[in-house]
Amino acid sequence: MRIAVMGAGSIGGYFGGMLARAGNQVTLIARGDHLAAISQRGLRVIRDDEEFTVQCDATDDPGQVAHVDLALLTVKSYQNQQAIPAMKPMVGPDSTVLCLQNGIDTYQDAVNAFGAEHVLPGAAYIEAGMQGPGVVTQTGMVVRIAFGEQDGSDSDRGGAIAELLEKSGIPAQFDRDIRKTLWTKFLFIATMAGVTTLSRETMAQLMPRPEWSKVIVGCLQEIERVGRASGVNLDPKVVQETVDYMEGSLDQMHASMHSDIVAGRPLELEALNGAVVRAGKAVNVVTPINDVIYAMLKPYLLGRFDKT
């Protein structure tokens, strides 16, 4: 299958590397030193129990890539304004764009550009990073892609993509209720990212403190109320199950938005806590905790303190 990865950093690089190793024709869209290293030496993938190098096409110009069968969208959500228009030469009449970004509605940017019939919303579950240019890492046992049709229907392409991913060593779930899947992950990610970025501390530091534990649980409950009011069929025990997961995995929990604010990089605030605020307004559910998180972090949206 002809595949392109728009944003071949840690997550996109890992999935692209696994797909290339399985024999697919993969083009990685990267830039700078990362692109140069991939072009010269291939993409090196380091996992807990193995490492390998794959040779695949790489470019910083999607215009050089012909129509693909499948395009993975893995850039940060705030890069969509530039990345999605650049993808147009790769998306033909039979192409599918699989969106693997944080958030509950970020895939709508791709829908607006390419049409709903070309877009599958999805969620990636993975701990990935970059050891250096041309080198991506994956740690831990949790690696999975969940995705589905926007209307919850079954489809031949959904089954084919799930089979493709599985054959490439990527556990996959073709989901008949992708909204529930997105909101369940979102509830966890938006809370973890919001509170750790606001506090500049990790979940391992925050959760043992009663005052912060109260805020964390309150944020989860707030997002749950918004989701249910939005018509999402969340599990009855979704908050307690998320708290249990958090408490059992504190040392492994690292939000990329927390790392971004410490490093002075732009934040995915609009796709996370900003999305909670917007969704709450749409269904008349108050979101005081997320209102505060959003207000406090908005000056750092572009990666620097900006009072405007």
Query: What's the pLDDT tens digit per position in 193-230?
Result: 999 999 999 999 999 999 999 999 999 999 999 999 99
The pLDDT value recorded for residue 166 is 98
| Per-residue pLDDT band at 306 (split at 50, 70, 90) | low
CB distance 145 to 120 below 8 Å = no
Average pLDDT over residues 172-198: 96
Tell me which of 91 and 141 has the higher pLDDT.
91
From CA 231, how far away is CA 247, in angstroms rounded? 28
The pLDDT value recorded for residue 304 is 75
Residue 200 CA: distances (Å) to CA of 117, 129, 195, 217, 307: 41, 20, 8, 18, 19
Average confidence score pLDDT of the chain: 95
Element (H, E) at 285: none
Residue 201 CA: distances (Å) to CA of 178, 193, 195, 207, 258: 31, 10, 8, 10, 8
The pLDDT value recorded for residue 277 is 98
The pLDDT value recorded for residue 141 is 87
140 pLDDT more than 90: no
The pLDDT value recorded for residue 25 is 97
Instruction: Count the alpha carbons within 13 Å of 165 in the hemisphere toward its beta carbon.
Output: 23
Element (H, E) at 167: helix 156-167
Average pLDDT over residues 125-148: 94
Dig out the tokens for 90 from the structure. Answer: 């790769």
How many residues belong to the chain? 308
The pLDDT value recorded for residue 231 is 97
Of 149, 139, 138, 219, the C-alpha closest to 186 is 219
Q: Which long-range contacts does 156-159 make (Cβ < 8 Å, 24+ apart)?
A: 157/96, 157/120, 158/120
Kindly report, residue by residue over 248-297, the tens digit of the pLDDT: 888 877 889 999 999 999 999 999 999 999 999 999 999 999 999 999 99
The pLDDT value recorded for residue 95 is 98
Q: Which CATH superfamily hosts domain 179-300?
A: N-(1-d-carboxylethyl)-l-norvaline Dehydrogenase; domain 2 (1.10.1040.10)
Kindly report, residue by residue over 46-71, the tens digit of the pLDDT: 999 999 999 999 999 999 999 999 99
Q: Which residue has the tokens 């390998």?
A: 52
Ranges of beta strands (E only) in 77-192 are 96-99, 119-132, 135-147, 172-174
The pLDDT value recorded for residue 305 is 62
The pLDDT value recorded for residue 253 is 78
If one counts every other C-beta atom within 10 angstroms of the C-beta of residue 39, the result is 18
Q: Domain segments of the chain: what residues?
A: 2-176, 179-300
The partner residues of 58 in beta bridges, in order of sequence, read 28
CA angle 149, 152, 155 (to 5 degrees): 55
From CA 221, how far away is CA 203, in angstroms rounded? 17
Phi and psi at residue 96, in whole multiples of 5°? -120, 135
Average pLDDT over residues 172-177: 95
From CA 301, how far away is CA 308, in angstroms rounded? 11
CATH class name, domain 2-176 = alpha beta
CA angle 183, 165, 193 (to 5 degrees): 30
